[in-house]
Amino acid sequence: MRKKLWIWQLVLLVAIFAFWHVATHPELIPPFVWDNPNRAAFFFGEPVKIFKVIVEWFAGGEIYPHLWVTLQETALAFVIGSVLGLAIGLWLGLTPFASALLDPYIKAMNAMPRVVLAPIFMVWFGLGIWSKVALGVTLVFFIVFFNVYQGVKEVSPVVLNNATMLGATRRQLLRYVYLPSATSWVFSSLHTSVGMAFVGAVVGEYLGSAKGVGYLIHMAEGSFDINTVFAGILVLTIFALVLDFAVSAAEKRLLVWRPTQGETEQAL
C-alpha cells in the first residue's frame, strides 16, 4: 500500500511539472489562453530552464557555499529554538505561578510579527549568520514552546496520582511521566519548525546578506530572472523535505514505545 502511494505521489509530481511546462509554452496550448504569449514564461518560469539552472549550480559548485550557509543558519535556529522551547515549556508547565505571571508577556511576544525583528537583529548581530539564526529561533521557539506546554498540561491526573502514590520523586515524574507526554507533542511541532527555521534563514538572507540561497534568490529577483528564483525555491524545498525526513526518522526511533494506529485498533 505504501509503495503504491509513493507511485501515485510521483505521478502527481510529474503531472504538475508537465502542466507547468505546457502552460508556459504558448506553442503547446491554444492561442486564446494567453493574450501575450511571452507573459506566462516571464511570470511563472520554464521548468526545463529551472532544472538547467539547478544542474549548473551543482555541477559548477556555485551553490555549495551558499547552501552551506543557509543550512548552518537553519540547523542552528532549529536546534536552539527547539531546546529553548522544550526547556521553557517544561518549566512553565510545571510552575503554575511563573506560568500565570508570564502568560500575558508570552502571548504578546507570540502575537508580534517576528519578521519585523530582522532589521533589529542585523543591527545587534551584524550581517553574518547569527542575525538569521536569531530570527529563525524566534519562529521555531513559540511553535515548540506551546506544544511542550500543552503536552505537560495534558498529562493524566490519574497517572500522576498513581505515580505519586507509588513513591515517585519529582525527578522521576519528570523523566517517566512529563517528558514522555511532552515528547509526542514536541515531534508533532518539529515538522513545522523545520520549515519555519528555513523561513527565518531565507528571509534574513533576503533582507541583508552576502551569501546564502536567499541571497541568490534576491539577486535573481533584482534582475527579473524568474527561472533562477524558482530554482532557489526548489532547492530550498528539497532540503527542507530532507530535514523533515530526518525528524521523522528520529521520531520513529525515540517514540518506539508509542503504539501505531493499527496496534491501537487491534487492542480495542
- Per-residue H/E/C for the chain: CHHHHHHHHHHHHHHHHHHHHHHCCHHHCCCCCCCCCCHHHHHHCCHHHHHHHHHHHHHHCCHHHHHHHHHHHHHHHHHHHHHHHHHHHHHHHHCHHHHHHHHHHHHHHHHCCHHHHHHHHHHHHCCCHHHHHHHHHHHHHHHHHHHHHHHHHCCCHHHHHHHHHCCCCHHHHHHHHHHHHHHHHHHHHHHHHHHHHHHHHHHHHHHCCCCCHHHHHHHHHHCCCHHHHHHHHHHHHHHHHHHHHHHHHHHHHHCCCCCCHHHHHHHC
pLDDT at 38 over 70: no
Q: Give me the pLDDT at residue 39, please.
A: 62
CA 130, CA 125: separation in Å to the nearest integer?
Answer: 6
Confidence of residue 259 (pLDDT cuts 50, 70, 90): very low
Q: Name residue 240's amino acid.
A: A
Q: Answer yes or no: pTM beyond 0.85.
A: no
Longest dimension (CA), the chain: 79
Q: How many other CB atoms are there within 10 angstroms of residue 108's CB atom?
A: 9
**Is pLDDT larger for residue 257 or for residue 151?**
151
pLDDT at 266 over 50: no
For the chain, give the number of residues: 268
Give Cβ neighbours of residue 77 (< 8 Å, ≥ 6 apart).
132, 133, 134, 135, 136, 137, 139, 140, 197, 200, 201
Q: What is the mean pLDDT of residues 184-198?
A: 77
Owner of C-alpha cell 510529474: 14
Q: Name residue 1's amino acid.
A: M
Q: Using one digit for the tens of pLDDT, what is the confidence trace for 105-124?
A: 888 888 887 777 888 888 88
Give Cβ neighbours of residue 75 (< 8 Å, ≥ 6 apart).
197
Q: Give me the pLDDT at residue 263, please.
A: 44
Confidence of residue 46 (pLDDT cuts 50, 70, 90): confident
CA 104, CA 190: separation in Å to the nearest integer?
Answer: 25
pLDDT at 257 over 60: no
Identify the burial level of 121 via C-beta atoms within 10 angstroms of its C-beta, where 0-12 means exposed, 13-18 middle and 19 or more buried. Answer: buried
Q: What is the mean pLDDT of residues 69-90?
A: 87
CA 50, CA 148: separation in Å to the nearest integer?
Answer: 40
Quick check: 132 and 117 in contact, CB under 8 A?
no
